Amino acid sequence: MNVSLIYASYAELTRIGLQDESANLFVAEALRYVIEQVLAQLSTTLVMTISSQDTGTAYWFEFVIEHLISSWSGMAVQLLYIKAERPVHVPGRKYCNFLLVDSFEGLRAADIAKDNASYDDSEYYFIFLQTRDAFISQELQLILDYCLQNYWLHCNVMIQTAQVEVLVYTYYPYTAQGCQMARPQLINRFDGKRMLNEPMFPDKLRNMYGCEVVVLTWHMPPYVELWWDDKRGKLQARGFEMVLVQHLADSMNFRVRLLNLTLMHVSSYQLRNGSHLGPIEMLRSQMANLSIGNFRKSARRNEMLTSPLSHYYSPLVATVEYGSYRISSLALLLFPFKLHVWLILLCAVALHLIIYMARRYDTFTGMHVIELLLGASIVRFPRAWLQRGIYAHWLYGSLPLRVVYQSLLFHLIRKQIFASVPDSFEKLLAENFIGITTSNTLQLLEEIPGVMRQYDSFVGMVTSWDQEVLDALHPAHKGGRKLFAITSLDVTNSYLRSNYHLGQYYILPQYVNVQQIGIYLPKHSYFYDKFDLVIRQLYNGGLTSTWRRWTFGERGPLKRQITNTSIGIGDLLGICMVMGTIYTLALLVFCIELLVHYAPMLRR
């Protein structure tokens, strides 16, 4: 590159000799190195921005950039020229940024923070500040404060001194000297060929030196359980998500300070349209660094906050009490046989009675068939062999039916079998059930089309605990209403185990929804990339699943409360064999009695 041509063109336009050609060459080589060896490795696109309050400096920037761009073809470049007298805003995200400014006002005029504020991950900013040595310290501090305020973690500032030194400064938000401060720190120097130190953008969150991180949370066991420690005189927390936060604190060396929202009214922190007392607005105003406590992700929340990889997937299930499907006494008598079996029996008895009445037999004699069907003894034995054959047919034909019916009836009464429970919450709604859940969960369920169509069939309870929703299913609290609860699957299983209610409630197999639980941060937080990396490593190693099982008290697979399997004849084979043996002995005794009775008559 012919830097003398740059200088000659610049001198011709400005008529002022700013610095000699060797200084221009030195600065141009430093800029070339940063672009080719650093920024080109981060992205295939580069946004170059010239924003200068001084016209002469702006011309110098312009010519330098023009010749730098013409000397390589490895990147797609977007060039923005911000003029103080006519500022023009170009919307769109700017991920890899190379800015040439002469002051802090020039950086602020570029208004890049507005374009990148709605994204989650961090961008890269390399700022070349060209100003007099007397103003470098002040302008450098203002620029780094601006980076800290807008969560620009990867923000470097390169300067050129009067001694033609090219130095690169940055800031560390957490140091041993202070927290959340943007003190300029020299990290690199150009020696004419290369930068002396690597990498250009160091890891600034490797060690946070015990700085305080404010965690916004609320009492939500078993995710977060808060209690006051009298010995230490401060609020303490435990639970599945607190184990995760504590691991992050240990790996990054920061100190956790809890900010409790539990004492506030639920309407203040149920995230309704960004209430100023809710966690969304408290995070957006940077009153806290992160928030946990069964914080479920939604499209609207993701628009306002930043969340790393989800550490837990929470299926929402519908739970109903078995008492709603308890079989009544009359239904229990009819339950062992299906409807067509009862109809066949009634038709057979009715046909038999009709035949007796048509032939004008004694009606009382026709009722003997019903006595045989019910297993009663016959007081008067018929004389006609035809009637005896009919009675024998009814006796041995009704015997298996009666044995099966009595066995099933005994089994149903002893085991307290319930009617078949629907497999989805839509079927429960079709049976005029009312769904109850927390008001926060109900707000998230509004995004499900099946819920929106029948929104009047759902009631949101003024609570944040799923346990209280499950308590409302108790017969003493239902008040005769047909209710089902929508709660988290793990919370429901833990609740049923701890209260010994496994046989009283039924969890529908079809999920209402599967929600993602995550840590929420202010938008564009510089914790995003670090938290995402650590959580991904924990998830791949299986630690998050282990912590979840340990917190929810899982000791093995949960046994299904009652299976909806039908009972066949094979299941009653033992009872049939016993009854068959008894009836066989009875028939043998009856035959012996007949022989004893007719033996004297045969001798005569």
pLDDT at 14 over 60: no
**Nearest to 122, CA basis, from 215, 213, 203:** 203
Average predicted confidence (pLDDT) for the chain: 80
176-181 mean pLDDT:
92
* Per-residue pLDDT at 555: 42
Query: Is the separation of the CB atoms in 426 and 402 below 8 Å?
Result: no
C-beta separation of 107 from 81 below 8 A: no
CB contact at 8 A, 388 and 475: no
Region 221-235 average pLDDT: 86
* Overall average pLDDT of the 161-165 stretch: 90
Percent of the chain with pLDDT over 70: 78
Which among 56-70, 181-195, 397-411, 546-560 has the top mean pLDDT? 181-195
pLDDT tens digits, 378-401 = 666 666 667 777 777 777 777 777
Residues 6+ apart with CB under 8 A from 108: 146
For the chain, the straight-line distance linking the first and the last C-alpha, in angstroms and rounded, comes to 144
pLDDT number for residue 125: 97
Mean pLDDT of 351-372: 65
Q: Confidence class of residue 142 from pLDDT cuts 50, 70 and 90?
A: very high
The string of pLDDT tens digits covering residues 309-326 is 998 888 999 999 887 776
Mean pLDDT of 19-31: 82
The whole-angstrom separation of Cα 376 and Cα 354 is 22
CATH 3.40.50, domain 3-189, yes or no: yes
Token pair for 144 = 């780094």
What is the rounded distance in angstroms from the CA atom of residue 395 to the CA atom of residue 582?
15
Tokens of 227: 């209690």
State how beta strands 211-217 and 185-189 pair: unpaired
CA distances from 389 to 49, 381, 386, 584, 591 (A): 109, 12, 5, 19, 16
Asked if residue 462 has pLDDT above 50, the reply is yes
Query: Are 245 and 214 within 8 A, CB to CB?
Result: no
* Distance in angstroms (rounded) separating the CA atoms of residues 214 and 217: 10
pLDDT reported for residue 487 = 92
Decide if pLDDT at 275 tops 90. Answer: no
Residue 412, C-beta contacts closer than 8 angstroms, at least 6 positions apart = 327, 332, 335, 336
Q: Residue 429 and residue 483: Cα distance in Å, rounded?
A: 10
Query: Quick one: fold of 205-311+518-553?
Result: D-Maltodextrin-Binding Protein; domain 2 (3.40.190)
**In the predicted model, what is the mean pLDDT of residues 429-435?**
89
Q: Which residues are bridge partners to 157 per DSSP?
A: 127, 169
**3-class SS string, 406-435:** HHHHHHHHHHCCECCCCCCHHHHHHCCCEE
- Residues in Cβ contact with 405 at an 8 Å cutoff, skipping those fewer than 6 apart: 336, 337
pLDDT at 197 over 80: yes
The alpha helices in 269-328, defined as continuous H runs, are: 279-284, 299-304
Pairwise CA distance, residues 332 & 329, whole Å:
5
Which residue shows structure tokens 């990498």? 199
Write down the pLDDT at residue 267. 54
- pLDDT, tens digit, for every residue of 92-141? 899 999 999 999 999 999 889 888 888 988 999 999 999 999 999 999 99
> 578 has which bridge partners?
none
On whether the CB atoms of residues 294 and 270 are closer than 8 A, the answer is: no
CA distances from 468 to 295, 437, 455, 564 (A): 18, 9, 21, 28
97: tokens are 């940024």
Cβ neighbours of residue 491 closer than 8 Å, sequence gap 6 or more: 222, 466, 467, 552
The verdict on pTM exceeding 0.85 is no
Tens of pLDDT along 511-534? Answer: 998 888 999 999 989 899 999 999
Whether the CA torsion 556, 557, 559, 565 is positive or negative: it is negative
592 versus 365: the higher-pLDDT residue is 592
Kindly report the length of the chain.
604
Q: Any bridge partners for residue 236, and if so which?
A: 227
- Provide the token pair at 18: 């700013």
pLDDT for residue 152 is more than 90: yes
User: For 101, how many CA atoms within 13 A lie in the half-sphere containing its CB?
Assistant: 29
Percent of the chain with pLDDT over 90: 29
* pLDDT value at residue 417: 63
pLDDT category of residue 213 using cuts at 50, 70 and 90 = very high
Structural domain boundaries of the chain? 3-189, 205-311+518-553, 329-417
**CB atoms closer than 10 angstroms to residue 300:** 15
User: What does the pLDDT read at residue 415?
Assistant: 63
d(CA 287, CA 242): 19
Which residues are CB-neighbours of 518 under 8 A, at least 6 positions away? 295, 297, 307, 308, 309, 310, 311, 312
Burial degree of 457 (CB within 10 A; 0-12, 13-18, 19+): middle
Q: Residue 578 phi/psi, 5° resolution?
A: -65, -50
Which run of H or of E encompasses 170?
Answer: strand 166-170
Q: Of 47-56, 84-93, 169-178, which has the strongest mean pLDDT?
A: 169-178
d(CA 112, CA 532): 25
Give the residue, 553 or 264, on which the prediction is more confident. 553
Q: Which amino acid type is present at position 252?
A: M
Q: Is 157 helix (H, G, I), strand (E, B) or coil?
A: strand
Amino acid at 577: M
Who wins on pLDDT, 190 or 454?
Answer: 190
